[in-house]
Amino acid sequence: MPRVARLRSVVVDCPDPRALARFYAEIIGGRPDDQDADWVVLPMGDGPRLVFQRSEGHTPPEWPRSDRNAQQFHLDLDAGSTWEEIDQVEKRVLGLGARVLQREQSPDDDFRVYADPAGHPFCLCRIEH
């Protein structure tokens, strides 16, 4: 099927776009363009970019609830092929201000769930080889 449009950006509402853009830049790389304090772009090479948009009165999603204020979206981040590698990445994201939402996993799971400093869920995923 022919493409109708190309994904340009994933836009994330948050109370402090500069701070959240710096958080994700530390994790996935890139340099935020933060000339506008209300709209901060984090380029991602040739792919879509992450954009952080100021939202006054932002209420973070409640994970894993779906009855009210559902998670809205989350990012899956490849973080290593072993749980030992994931443990090291976990230490770094926690040091940057993330918090654990779900660390314990079943044997079939290949991810752990965290909240960024604005409360959005994201996953550190184990890469299967």
* Per-residue model confidence as pLDDT tens digits over 47-79: 889 999 999 988 888 877 766 656 567 899 999
The verdict on 52 and 84 lying in the same domain is no
- Given a cut of 80, is residue 118 above it in pLDDT? yes
- Answer yes or no: are the C-beta atoms of 64 and 111 closer than 8 Å: no
Q: What is the pLDDT of residues 25-51, one digit of tens each?
A: 999 999 999 899 999 999 988 888 999
CATH for 119? 3.10.180.10
What does the pLDDT read at residue 27? 95
The verdict on 34 and 69 lying in the same domain is no
Higher pLDDT, 2 or 18: 18
Domain count, the chain: 2
The verdict on 65 and 87 lying in the same domain is yes
Predicted model pTM: 0.85
The verdict on 102 and 64 lying in the same domain is yes
- Given a cut of 80, is residue 12 above it in pLDDT? yes
